[in-house]
Chains A and B, each alone.
Chain A
Amino acid sequence: MTQEEVRQVVVDIIADIAPDEDLKNLKDDIALREQLELDSMDFLDIVMELRKKYKIEVPPEDYPKLATLGSCVQYLSPKLVN
């Protein structure tokens, strides 16, 4: 996957989890929780969706790497090889 495709994977998951939010203007370098109403249960949803849809396991020590869209792309790109 290209970085842009990986970014879209994350944005699509967030769109399911936070369906009331407008995701068009998300900034890649600002924490998702500062831009959206997301709490710890929502982040667990992101982890669960990655597991269900892409068979990616994110261990708890890596959760901080999902803080921004940019860090998500960086962390997930090697794992999303297709």
Chain B
Amino acid sequence: MNNINNRSRVVITGVGIASPNGNNLPEFRNAILNGISGIELKEIRYMGKWPAGICKFDEYKYQSKKARRRGTRAGAISIYCANEAIVDSKLPWAAVDKSRLGVYLGITEHGNVETENEIFELHQNNLNVDFWSHHHNPRTVANNPAGEVTLNLGITGPHYTLGAACAAGNVGLINACQMLQLGEIDFALAGGVSESTNTFGIFAAFKAQGALAFHEMPSLASRPLDITRNGIVISEGGAILTLERLEDAIKRNAKIYGEIVGYHINSDSTDFVLPNAQRQMDCIMKAISMAKISVNDIDIISLHATGTESGDIIECEAVGTLFNTSNKVNINGMKDLIGHTMGASGALELAGNLPSFTDGLVHPFTNIKELEQKCIIKGLVINGPIKREVNYILNNSFGMLGINSTLIVKKY
């Protein structure tokens, strides 16, 4: 069993956000506390209009037009979030050894958008591959979003993405944490990103699966845990956090959002798409064990809760079973306001909860009008934010092929 007390302590010292309802943490926090939705109708190639979460940040705040033209939307989101996180961290950038800085970004998928665009163009040109872009390969290699960050910022340390379906945001943070504990790097830009709203294939596949949400009012389309929920709203987004070892953060007198005290990743080994409550419980308990705390210490659980029939029920079964005895846990989720930001969701939803340590508020679910019977668990936050002291946040993120991830952050 891993024991984090034998490892270096790792803290979060900066946050960069691109969310459908906020371009930085204060905006985002305000939106989720006040029920401001980022979901709108978007024209999807071949499919008409569907609810989706689109980010509104300025792509050119940190990137040239030429670099944007050559790169990808996922790269642009990553560059924006990475720069925002560095600014927020107040790291003395000019003095930083860029070879000791790592970039670790979780992705659900990458390359679908660019490949679909090229095939569309191919069909406009009588299937003549002479029109296939020479930019296709650098745009679609799996490390693209993280690589664009290093090109933009002159980072010469390691960079890669972590493909972990919709658990990827947490997985990016966990990988960065491990690299800091191994001493491979001194500073990490880590989290997750997604550009999935620009690929019709993901919309079409969820539709074929009967898991693509729709509602005439886009803001009501994503309704995790509600009895009338009818699937996932696909969103783009990004969250990149700066992580560093506690002693380094103290040395430079950095603002500390929280300390990563526990994490775990495991596999269901049971189904391509259906989740597994027992494996989710195992994952949560191993993270809690690593943090050397008990279920009764957790103050906030941020659910993965995507709004699918089985996903919500199985997660509530897992969480309800484990936390039934807790008298203080509060349970929330964010996808009703921002949709499912796929590879970004784990990191984005964690980031949105971090201010709870200082503002003493727990954001609610916004779109639950009638709770699904099988999702009735103790501690759900439904009717507006709750004011309380928060010391531990537990963040769940799960993905297809049966990947589960749990991350626990402690108030510092």
Contact = CB atoms under 8 A, between A and B. Distances in A.
- For chain B, the bracket of interface size reads 10 to 19
Nearest to B69: A19
A81 interface: no
Contact of A44 (B65, B66, B134): B134
Nearest to A21: B66
Overall SS of chain B's interface:
helix
Interface string B113-156: 00000000000010000110111000000000000000000000
Contacts of B70: 41
A34 interface: no
Find the residue from B65, B66, B133, B135 having the highest chain A CB count within 10 A: B66
A10 interface: no
B69 A51 contact: no
A75 B131 CA distance: 22
B131 A20 contact: no
B66 A19 contact: yes
A41 B66 CA distance: 12
A48 B136 CA distance: 13
Interface in A7-29: 16-21
B133 A20 contact: no
B58 to A, nearest CB: 15
A19 B65 CA distance: 6
Contacts of A44: 134
Contacts of B133: 48
A19 B69 CA distance: 9
A48 B130 CA distance: 8
A17 B66 contact: yes
A45 B65 CA distance: 15
B134 A41 contact: yes
B64 interface: yes
B66 A20 contact: yes
Contact of B66 (A18, A48, A51, A52): A18
Nearest to A47: B134
A17 B69 contact: yes
A66 to B, nearest CB: 15
A9 to B, nearest CB: 19
Contacts of B125: 52
A19 B60 CA distance: 12
A52 B64 CA distance: 25
Contact of A51 (B65, B130, B135): B130
Nearest to A36: B66
A64 B179 CA distance: 47
A55 to B, nearest CB: 10
A56 B134 CA distance: 17
Contacts of A21: 66
Contacts of A51: 130-131
A45 B69 CA distance: 11
A56 B31 CA distance: 52
A45 B135 CA distance: 9
A19 B59 CA distance: 14
A52 B131 contact: yes
Contacts of A52: 125, 131
Nearest to A41: B134
Nearest to A44: B134
Contacts of A41: 70, 134-135
A17 B131 CA distance: 16
Contacts of A18: 66
Nearest to A52: B131
A48 B69 contact: no
A16 B68 CA distance: 12
Contacts of B131: 48, 51-52
A20 B70 CA distance: 13
A49 to B, nearest CB: 11
A44 B134 CA distance: 7
Nearest to B70: A41
Interface of A: 16-21, 37, 41, 44-45, 48, 51-52
Given A17-B66, A41-B134, 7 more contacts: A19-B65, A19-B66, A20-B64, A37-B66, A41-B70, A45-B134, A48-B134
21 contacts: A16-B69, A17-B66, A17-B69, A19-B65, A19-B66, A19-B69, A20-B64, A20-B65, A21-B66, A37-B66, A41-B70, A41-B134, A41-B135, A44-B134, A45-B134, A48-B131, A48-B133, A48-B134, A51-B130, A51-B131, A52-B125
